[in-house]
Structure 1
Amino acid sequence: MSAKIRTLKIIHIAICAGILLVYLFIGNISLEILDFPSIGSSSSVYLFIPVAAFALGNILFNQQLKQVDRTLPLEDNFGTYQTASIIRWAILEGAAFLILFLAPQFTLFGLFIIIYVIFLRPTEDKMKTDLQYLD
């Protein structure tokens, strides 16, 4: 099982590193991003992107996990968990890229998404919790 989790961790690290590198090289990261821009009716759509990505990612993650057969061993349900995790990370990654390219003044929200993706690091305990397996 640890080899499968290690593979998922490598995928997670690659996604996180990719987002961070794009933000470092393309995004203009400085202390100026902490100055929150004024929000008008046209820019309020960009504030909705992180919220929608968070909600959609979690909804699709939970829908994938409903396909799990809890009578099978944990290892047999790993593929479903891996797919669900990658779907959630991809949605969040896409939202971070949308913010960076469409509304660079809201880069701070993209950084919040990146921090959230980093905290979604896969572990065996987290997998057991998400799949509702009891030890």
Structure 2
Amino acid sequence: MFFKTLNIIHVFLVLGLAALGAASFFFGVGFVNQFSMSGDVYIYIIPTLALLGYFTSNYIFRKQLSTIDRKESLQSKQAKYQSAVILKYAFIEGPALFAFMQFMNQGYTLYFTIGACLTIYLASLKPSKSKVVEELQLNNKEQEELK
């Protein structure tokens, strides 16, 4: 049930971003050929948010994993791992949503590219049993329980 829940959350987050990206592509103002940086503060905000989201997600994820005691029960470890993974996904999803929304409004290709790259990165974070075993450093007994 643990992996099923993680996979469902992951799939819906990725599909949601992909749907928003497609909607912004087809129903937005279109790609703008004439790019002007004057008066557009989002040209600085969106890349900064994307970088902050990426680095913050990894930092907080590692920090939360380090607080998990190896002597805790498997269910407790799974619950903490699940909350850490969801928080990691949220820090990636937020800037991607913002980038797609700004692309829909302004049409700058950079915004769409950043949103698409963050979506692809989020898709690459698909949870798996081997990742959980490695990241939680589960012993043999816990690995058997997990299966």
- By the TM > 0.5 criterion, same fold? yes
Give the alignment's TM-score, normalised by structure 1.
0.81
Which residue of the partner structure matches residue 7 of structure 2? 9
Q: Retained in 1: the 8 A contact 2:46–2:95? A: no
Written as runs of structure 1 = structure 2, the 5 A alignment for 1:28-39 is: 28=25
Tell me by how many angstroms 1:28 deviates.
1.5
Structure 2 unaligned blocks of 5 or more: 141-147
Q: Retained in 2: the 8 A contact 1:65–1:84? A: yes
Q: Retained in 1: the 8 A contact 2:61–2:88? A: yes
> What letter is aligned with 1:20?
A
Query: Which of these residues, 100, 110, 113, is aligned with residue 118 of structure 2?
Result: 113
Tell me by how many angstroms 1:22 deviates.
1.2
Q: Retained in 2: the 8 A contact 1:53–1:91? A: yes
Tell me by how many angstroms 1:124 deviates.
1.1
Which residue of the partner structure matches residue 134 of structure 2? 129
Rounded Cα–Cα distance in structure 2 between residues aligned with 1:81 and 1:68: 8
> What letter is aligned with 1:97?
L
The alpha-carbon distance between structure 1 residues 134 and 39, as it changes in their structure 2 partners (threshold 3 A), is farther
Which residue of the partner structure matches residue 21 of structure 2? 23
> What letter is aligned with 1:12?
H
Rounded Cα–Cα distance in structure 1 between residues aligned with 2:82 and 2:51: 23
Which residue of the partner structure matches residue 100 of structure 1? 100
Rounded Cα–Cα distance in structure 2 between residues aligned with 1:134 and 1:108: 41
> What letter is aligned with 1:28?
F
> What letter is aligned with 1:23?
G
Tell me by how many angstroms 1:56 deviates.
0.9
Tell me by how many angstroms 1:76 deviates.
3.3
Structure 1 unaligned blocks of 5 or more: none
Q: Retained in 1: the 8 A contact 2:49–2:95? A: yes
Which residue of the partner structure matches residue 50 of structure 2? 50
Deviations, residues 88-110 of structure 1 (Å, cap 9, x unaligned): 11111111011112355221111
> What fraction of aligned residue pairs are identical, expressed as a percent?
23
Structure whose alpha-carbon radius of gyration is higher: 2
